[in-house]
Amino acid sequence: MSTPSLKKGAPLAEGKRETFSSRKLFILSAIGSAVGLGNIWRFPYVAYENGGGAFLIPYLVAILCAGIPLLFLDYAIGHRYRGSAPLAYRRASRKAEVLGWWQVLICFVIAIYYAAIIAWAAMYCWFSITKAWGDDAATFFMEDFLQVAPEAGVSLDIVGGVFGPMLGVWLVAIIIMVAGVNKGISRANGIFMPLLIVMFVILVVQSVFLPGAIDGLNAFFTPNFEALQNPGVWAAAFGHIFFSLSVAFGIMVTYSSYMKRKSDLTGSGYVVAFANSSFELLAGIGVFAALGFMAYNANSAVGDVATSGIGLAFIAFPTIVSAAPFGSVIGVLFFGSLVFAGLTSLISILEVIVAAFQDKLGWNRKSATLVVTVPVAFISMVLFPTTTGLYLLDTMDAFVNQFGILACALVIVIVFGAGLGMLPRLAKHLNRHSSIKLGTGWMVLVGGVGPAALGYMLINEVQTKISESYSGYPVWFNGVFGWGMAGALIVGAVLMSLVPWSKKSKLNDPEFEEHQQKVEAEELPDPVGKEY
């Protein structure tokens, strides 16, 4: 399909809004955001628990029917309305601004605890050299390193060994953010992502040669086709892919608003999704090979040692590092990978927050970044390097993912699909700016399959979280930091959307008006009448 209004060399309507200087850098940054802790410590276990090799079927279905279509929705909104989440949604419809602020606040909650995990991983990189945990990695992690209080609560007892590295993580993140989209985000991804890939590939190769690795791989890949009859397995696949591709965080809306007008949206999306899944699969191989070795060493079954998340990274892996030949190398590579994967995801969520304030208040990059990130870092440093930080992190993570991201994604697909009826217009925009064209199928997936899958998962989650106290923590604790926090995000979002846009804000940006005229011209009914 031709794009008549995009004459070569015509001035682009970017204005002062920064753009990624090349499509490659956009793709790299989007992959940097998508490839995070979820790929390394979540995917392998989710796949193993939900049918092993057979999980690939629901996983692929979930990617094609929901992950990629929703990724395209994010791209279309960000690129068409050229703004941070609140601004882009507001330009789409006045009432939708609140959804953008909801995403900004979700990103705020994730950022404050994500930095803590990156800091732990950085310390464990160091600890790997001397295997500082001795022969009891669990006690070392809980008691010596985090000094976790016996009961969930809130204490302001700072743990020095976590505070220092967290300060370091925040300094690095703030420096990258202040430098902006090209000098900061693109450059950081340009350095960290190749490093991550090289380190991770070496780690996987080293792991598959460990004794017992083959048992781990068998456990991971052996298909259990019966699992496919269980709806929970399908829900796990859909739930994982939304998180893994970073859709509905506001990240992809923000990043795609920095893409040049003449871009290839769907082509880039497929590259990002393919790269993200390839990395996950590789992680599955590396992690399960290492777990196979751990089981072999402990003379137990792989199923007895397999776990995910914090337990996998900070308890199982240190145990593997202690026992494996060249264990310290495994440790440095594994924890180094967590740091790089985590940092590139952290800067992407910080960008959602910074861009939102920059647009609403009309501040320059440096001021907006400092005014936003310094308080965020401060809150993070008060809450998480404490003796109760682990409890807070656990509860906030569980609730913000389910009742933040999942719920927000559901509302967005309903609002943009059935509510505003904007899918045909967005499909048209995608097709104007893409190499791979979409058909009506995309609208059916976003407007139909998306809400159905998200709605099903959300209902399931509400039921489990109501029926049992999360992680066995006291009711008041989950009430305040789980349910209360999730509710506060919505109230906060409504309040933020009521704050008037500053005169200097980007709402009435003349550059956008020019862009708008061009895209509106493109949206006129097609003379051929075939494509949207």
Residue selected from 32, 36, 69, 451 as contacting ligand PFF according to rule CB under 6 A: 36
Residue selected from 29, 39, 189, 256 as contacting ligand PFF according to rule CB under 6 A: 39
Shortest distance, position 159 Cβ to ligand PFF, whole Å: 22
- The rounded distance, in Å, linking the Cα atoms of 385 and 382 is 7
- The rounded distance, in Å, linking the Cα atoms of 33 and 26 is 11
- The rounded distance, in Å, linking the Cα atoms of 492 and 486 is 10
Whichever of 56 and 149 has its CB closer to ligand PFF, that residue is: 56
- The rounded distance, in Å, linking the Cα atoms of 415 and 447 is 9
State which of positions 103-122 bind ligand PFF (CB under 6 A).
110, 114
- The rounded distance, in Å, linking the Cα atoms of 304 and 408 is 36
Q: Which stretch binds ligand PFF (CB under 6 A): 60-68, 179-187, 341-349, 371-379?
A: 341-349
Look at the alpha carbons of 226, 231, 236, 242 in this order and tell me if their dihedral is positive or negative: positive
Q: How many CB atoms lie within 10 A of CB 452?
A: 14
Work out whether 34 is an interface residue with ligand PFF (CB under 6 A): yes
Shortest distance, position 336 Cβ to ligand PFF, whole Å: 16
Shortest distance, position 310 Cβ to ligand PFF, whole Å: 14
Q: Which stretch binds ligand PFF (CB under 6 A): 31-39, 153-161, 487-495, 497-505?
A: 31-39
Whichever of 243 and 357 has its CB closer to ligand PFF, that residue is: 243
Residue selected from 19, 27, 30, 38 as contacting ligand PFF according to rule CB under 6 A: 38
Q: Which stretch binds ligand PFF (CB under 6 A): 165-173, 243-251, 266-274, 384-392?
A: 243-251
The DSSP annotation for 135-166 comes to: T-HHHIIIIIIS---SSSS----B-HHHHHHH
Work out whether 244 is an interface residue with ligand PFF (CB under 6 A): yes
Whichever of 36 and 165 has its CB closer to ligand PFF, that residue is: 36
Work out whether 243 is an interface residue with ligand PFF (CB under 6 A): yes
Residue selected from 50, 84, 128, 246 as contacting ligand PFF according to rule CB under 6 A: 246
Length of the chain counted residue by residue: 532
Nearest alpha-carbon partner for 310 in 396, 377, 381, 390: 390
Which residue type does 314 have?
Answer: F
Shortest distance, position 27 Cβ to ligand PFF, whole Å: 15
- The rounded distance, in Å, linking the Cα atoms of 148 and 388 is 6
Is residue 189 helix, strand or coil?
helix
Shortest distance, position 418 Cβ to ligand PFF, whole Å: 27
Residue selected from 346, 406, 407, 438 as contacting ligand PFF according to rule CB under 6 A: 346
Work out whether 345 is an interface residue with ligand PFF (CB under 6 A): yes
Structure tokens belonging to residue 530: 């075939």
Shortest distance, position 98 Cβ to ligand PFF, whole Å: 22
Structure tokens belonging to residue 118: 């990156």
Shortest distance, position 172 Cβ to ligand PFF, whole Å: 14
- Burial (CB count <10 Å: 0-12, 13-18, 19+), residue 508: exposed
Whichever of 114 and 334 has its CB closer to ligand PFF, that residue is: 114
Shortest distance, position 247 Cβ to ligand PFF, whole Å: 9
- The rounded distance, in Å, linking the Cα atoms of 196 and 200 is 6
Structure tokens belonging to residue 181: 């989209």
Structure tokens belonging to residue 22: 């090349």
Residues near ligand PFF (CB under 6 A):
33-34, 36-39, 110, 114, 243-244, 246, 345-346, 348-349
